[in-house]
Structure formats: structure tokens, C-alpha cells
Chain A
């Protein structure tokens, strides 16, 4: 049964059939949310909100685009709204992450149990660099790169979701990738300088 037929059944009153759509698209919506929020619990909560929102406005789905495209639009808007709202709460979030070590997002790269703690720390620092670099991109570039990298969508599919042309998406992706490279290089340079300062401070301290 295709998506449109399922939607017709749901609109006729069999709301339980919405489960079919949820099961089919749950991971897709979750991945998009993860790309924007970098935290499993937050992504779960937002994915739930996205599906409830989609359910409530299902009667407005005209079938002009694929259901997945329509759902992606809702998900992207919800993610952007969420990140806009939480941008003012960054400090509190960071504090929460430090206090609550069980937070999933920050340990995104798995590590071996007997791995050097310093290496783990450096790795976590790198994860933060990438997440921050992604978050600091302009909204349209961030959306394009998340849909491309996390959801592995083609430029045509991204163009449909963003209501733009393939050429515009290509340009967005190129700018986003270049910007990411520059931001990561800058972070890396800054970090090297910081390390050098630390080392010189320690060696001076030893001599004295």
C-alpha cells in the first residue's frame, strides 16, 4: 500500500494506520533531528513532535510532492525552530553536558575501554569541533549539508525539500563544505597554539 492510500485511510478515521507511516519514516526523521541537535534524547523528542505535527496537519497534505518530502519539510522546520530557541541556552546546555556525563551526543565516536584517557578527551574535543562547525553554518547551508550527509539525499531531493533548484543546492553544498574546512582548520590552528603555550609554560615551570 502506498503512502497516499494510507493517508486516505487515516483521514477517513482509521488513525491507527498512522503507525505504518511512523514505522517507515521514523529513522529518517530521527537522523535529520540528530544532524541538527547532536543528542539522541533531544532527537527522539523532536522526532516525536514532528510526527504529531504531521498527523495534525495530515489533511493539508495535497499529494503534490512525495509524503517523505513533505515530512522532511516539517522536520527541517521543527529542527531550525528548535535550534533557534536553544541558541540562547547554549551555556546552560554545556553546563548540563558537563554535569550529566550520560549525555549521548558528546560521546559520538565509540572508543575502546583500555584506550588512553587523553586520547579519548582529544577525540571528544574533535567531536565538539565538528558539531560546533556544523552548527555555526548559515541555516540554508546547514540544512543542505545535513540532508546530504546524514540522510544521503540527492541534490534533486534536497532541492524539492527546500523549494529551490538543483544548481542552488549544489552551490549551497560547495559553500558549506568550504566553510566547514575553514572552520575546522581555524580550530585546529588555535588548538595547536594553545598546546604550544601549555608545553612552554610547563617546561618553564620545570626549569624554574
Chain B
């Protein structure tokens, strides 16, 4: 038996699931190969750690904690939020926002400010600017 084959059999060897012939071969290999023997020692170490973690029991009050958490949770289970609703909601919000912006622009364009009623009287419009004498000239005289 070579090292690779021996190491592949560790799990079955450890759990006693190997046929007696193969078990004898693994035994013999572990007896002569220090590398595989060390590797098997580390394998059993890992198995021990895993089984000790596996044997840890959950908090006896976990069920109560969970049920309290559920009572406090905002989303009741029977309120089915369908995927349709989940997709539709943001789409509707986006459409409403875009519509509001477009309406704002259009309303801005339609709006015409009321023209000033203080138009220049006709008499003033007829005044010939060239004929008006400078105030300076008048004071000098």
C-alpha cells in the first residue's frame, strides 16, 4: 500500500468500516511509514475537535428567544410580499418621479408672465431726442 492510498482510507479506518484485509494493510503501512502515522495522528485530532464542537448543545432558551424575536419582527408571515410587488414598487416610484419632472418642465414652458401695463405714453414716444437741448448749455446761458 502506498502513502496516498493509505491516507485516502483514514476516514473508513478510523470509523472501523474497512474490510479486515485492507485494515491489516493500513495497519502495516502506518507501522512503517512515519509520515502517514503523523498524518493519521493529525486526522484523529481534527476528528476529535469536530466531534467536540458537534456535541455542544444550543442554548436551552433558544426557542423562546426565537419566538420572541418573531413576535417583534415587523413582517408578519401571512403578509405575502410577492416578487411582482417587490419589482413593481420601485418601477412605479421611478415612473412617478419622471412624470413629475416632465410635468414641471412643461408647466415652466407654458407659463407666460403677464406683460407690464406701464407702457410708454404716445406723447413721450414722439419726442425727438436730437431736439432736446443739453441742461448744461441752458445753465451757462
Residues of A bordering B, CB below 8 Å: 10-13, 15-16, 18-19, 22-23, 26-27, 30-31, 34-35, 38, 40, 43-44, 47-48, 51-52, 55-56, 58-59, 104-105, 108-110, 126-127, 129-131, 133, 149-150, 177, 180-181, 184-185, 188
Contact = CB atoms under 8 A, between A and B. Distances in A.
Interface string B50-67: 101110111100110111
B76 interface: yes
A105 to B, nearest CB: 8
B46 A133 contact: yes
Contacts of A185: 38-39, 42
B63 A12 contact: no
Contacts of A126: 45, 49
B62 A47 contact: yes
A55 B70 contact: yes
A178 B72 CA distance: 45
A143 B107 CA distance: 59
Contacts of A23: 63
A52 B66 contact: yes
B7 to A, nearest CB: 6
B77 A15 contact: yes
Interface string B24-57: 0000000000000011001101101110111011
Contact of B11 (A15, A177, A184, A188): A177
Q: Is the interface of B mostly helix, strand, loop or mixed?
A: helix
Contacts of B69: 48, 51-52
A195 B109 CA distance: 84
Interface of B: 7, 11, 38-39, 42-43, 45-46, 48-50, 52-54, 56-59, 62-63, 65-67, 69-71, 73, 75-78, 80-81
Contact of A48 (B53, B65, B80): B65
A22 B77 contact: no
A40 B57 CA distance: 8
A12 B78 contact: yes
A11 B58 contact: no
A129 B41 CA distance: 14
A104 B57 CA distance: 12
Nearest to B83: A60
Nearest to B67: A19
Nearest to B58: A30
Q: Which 6 A-B pairs have the closest CB atoms?
A: A30-B58, A130-B49, A184-B42, A59-B80, A51-B66, A44-B59
A181 B78 contact: no
B49 A108 contact: yes
B67 A22 contact: yes
A125 B69 CA distance: 37
Contacts of A43: 56, 58
Contact of A130 (B11, B45, B58): B45
Contacts of B53: 34-35, 38, 105, 108, 150
A38 B54 CA distance: 10
